[in-house]
A and B are shown apart, each in its own frame.
Chain A
Amino acid sequence: MEEGVVNEMRKGRLGDLFDAQQLLTDVSGSGNNWAHGHHLYGPQYRDNLLDSIRRPVEACESLQSFLLLQSLGGGTGSGLGCYILNLLEDEFPEAYRFATSVFPSEDDDVITSPYNALLSLAELTEHADAVFPLENQALMDMCSLIQARSNPANNQPASLLSGPNTGKSRGKAFDSMNGIAANMLLHLTSSVRFEGPLNVDLNEITTNLVPFPRLHFLLASLSPLAAPRDVSKLAGAPRAVDQVFTEVFSREHQLMKVDPRKATYLACCLLMRGKMSIADMNRNVMRLRPNLRMVHWNPDGFKLGICSKPPVGVPFSLLGLVNNSCVVTSFRTMQDRFARLYKRKVYLHHYLQYMEEGAFAHASETVQGLIHEYTERASVYPVVPERKLRSVGMHFL
């Protein structure tokens, strides 16, 4: 809803890729106000949005899914983004809706981000088919890790930092982080675009990784983050392959600031790119499986995929997508920050201009229900109902 960013992109290197009719802007922006984006701009631009969306849909032979890229802390991305999510559900119910959402970090620069994030999270829980959450803090840590590991004299940026301005030393910080997120999406769709011995389509991701409809928050992790100095050593060395698998399950490579090893895995998907065989994947799954806490009704829950074409610059790479109950920690933090603001009803009047207060309570309840469902479903051992023992001699009570 602001012209600045879209104009900059249009003038940049990739400006020709985007059809001018597909760009929708307004002047003033949403003011970091979820209600402004959702309840004001949404209905106002509904027809324009539908037109813009329908045009590429009609050009498709067979529409499978929509991919939403948004942040949850602001006004447009979260508010208008969730409105569009609802719109897509109404207009194209058979297509899958995947959302790549940037969750706000602890030290976020937007003060009303807890409100925006919680309201969006409630919408995403109800209307999206799968959500790939990202956290800025995690991406920043991964960038510093890459810079620490890669050789500065190596001017070939064979790493995940292959964003538009990363070659220059004065590139903006967000470029590298966006590069990581972009690589995650490229990896996810690699099997759709290239061939391989074991293809994994986007709809297979939802079928295999979403055991119950609301538990659809899939944590992503990528490895390797950067190519080592001698790339040829990587190809074929089984120890390097094993290293990649170990890293995917480690805390530093997750795209959210959570530790999946401490929580329960509901399902796990490993997508490999490069000239690897199913034997490598099976061997590593066998090796790493005992260290993971899997839920009791899905102890062998691994989905594997192999795509022949490796990413640019590295001989192979691995994407891990897990449905793990550790995302609950992130939701709880969001809930706490929301509660702290909501208790005092600060900044609420900006929102109440466009929406009712009941929506806040409803959103909070939805997220509470989601947290409860995650913790309940992810119990490793089956919950045995307690049987009340009648004490001897006390039956007169």
Chain B
Amino acid sequence: MSVVTLQLGQCGTQIGHALFETLARETEVDQASGKSPLFDTFFRQPDEQRTDNKKKRHARSVLVDMEPKVVDRAVVSAASSSTKWCYAPGCCFSQQSGSGNNWARGYNSYGPTYVNDVCDLVRREAERADYLGGFLMLQSMAGGTGAGLGTYIAEAIRDSFPSSFLMNHCIWPYQSGEVIVQNYNSLLTLAHLAEVSDGIMLVENSALHSTCQRLLNIERPSFMDMNAVAARALSSALLPASYRPIAGGTSQSGRPVTLFGDIVEKLCCHPAYRLLSLRSLPQMPAGSIDFTTFTWPAILRRLQQMQVTGSLLEEGLRWDVKVNSSDNVHGRQVNKSLAAMLVLRSESPESVAGLSTPAKATALFLLRIPWCTQKSEGSVLLSIAGPSLNVPRRALRQKQSCEQKPVA
């Protein structure tokens, strides 16, 4: 089952590159044991079997940007990376002039002009797949290409492939501003994607930044560090896993997860509620792993408390907020979630067998592939929750209220 990834704009290209790096590293170990399902999901064999790059797998990805620099850089660095993957030749689409952070330019001007070219590339990539699981779009919400053109492409894909799943991974910009018109761009993107997409994963730049600074002890995080954190969380949610039902019963136990189908079915149950958030544990610098012991109950407790308080960071959790306590009579402090999907991965899958799942998960998945780089236990929680999105919404409302007097 295959997933076609679209990397839109500078942010999408850079995050996609980090994502494929992470996925490639994870599959290296599993390659030894024969053909792994992960191989088919995100990578494929090159079309022509040439002897020199027989070993290099091609990523199932289409890169789109309105300026050539970032896409070229990504292709070059993938080709020269130590892990055995690269971008397929002819999978990139770039122009010269750039979108200028202008959502309208990307959507209304470049969209209709270039949609046929981009959809051709996507269609070709989709036809190479035996079983198409869906499309994953990586974009930012603050820019012009990722936000504007990306939204138009999403709508075009929805028209061309009406029964495929379309998931968007969108980066929410810093509150303090990286682009001045980011509020316009973000609002317009969200409004259009809400109609078209099956699930929108929102990842905040400020959360990634704090994770790098406070948990990974990187004093001055660069975009590469933040992309690595986001890629790790996303890959944990997307790697192949087997399903384990919650309320007992062995009818479906052990079946492999259909990648986007299960996520959409279990999480995005209502068309109005499609905004997902990702929480991944544990986050720690590579050097501290050897000195830490991991136990499932501890990890799950922390994850549950993160979910309950709506915090995106493992640190500084407020443990006094409890779910069924009489203090929160109106439940204002507790972060309410509509649905949650828990993915556990470990080196020894048996250790997870006897676990009692936390109360808030509606679906539980077990990852079959252990961590190869970190050698630790870890879990990821994908959930839909309402109040945790309050902060960005308030900022948007403030921007909308500025009065515009007509220019004389």
Contacts and interface: CB of A to CB of B under 8 A. Distances in A.
A393 B389 CA distance: 54
A203 interface: yes
A198 B223 contact: yes
A82 B403 CA distance: 34
Interface in B1-59: 10, 14
B213 A201 contact: no
B100 A204 contact: yes
B25 to A, nearest CB: 22
B100 A195 contact: no
Nearest to A203: B100
B242 to A, nearest CB: 38
A195 B70 contact: yes
Interface string B196-233: 00000000000001001100000111111010000000
B352 interface: no
Interface in A198-242: 198-199, 201, 203-204, 206-209, 212-214, 238
B102 A207 contact: yes
B69 interface: yes
B407 interface: yes
A interface majority secondary structure: mixed
Interface stretch (B154-162, B177-185, B258-266, B268-276): B177-185
Interface string A53-74: 0000000011010000000000
B176 A286 contact: yes
Contacts of B403: 297, 382
B93 interface: no
A300 B175 contact: yes
A64 B97 contact: yes
Contacts of A269: 180
Contacts of A208: 101, 179-181
Given A206-B100, A207-B100, A279-B213, A62 B95 contact: yes
Interface stretch (A11-19, A99-107, A301-309): A301-309
B407 A214 contact: yes
Contact of A277 (B179, B222, B407, B408): B222
B98 A278 contact: no
A209 B402 CA distance: 16
Main secondary structure of the interface of B (DSSP, over half): loop
A301 B220 contact: no
A212 B407 contact: yes
Given A207-B181, A278-B221, A369 B95 contact: no
Contacts of A279: 209, 212-213, 219-222
B174 interface: yes
B67 interface: yes
A146 interface: no
24 contacts: A62-B95, A64-B98, A195-B70, A198-B223, A199-B10, A199-B67, A199-B70, A201-B67, A204-B100, A204-B101, A207-B102, A207-B181, A208-B179, A277-B222, A277-B223, A279-B209, A279-B220, A279-B222, A289-B176, A297-B402, A300-B175, A300-B176, A302-B177, A382-B403
Interface of B: 10, 14, 67, 69-70, 73, 95-102, 144, 174-181, 209, 212-213, 219-224, 226, 399, 402-403, 407-408
- Shortest 3 CB-CB distances between A and B: which pairs? A297-B402, A203-B100, A62-B96
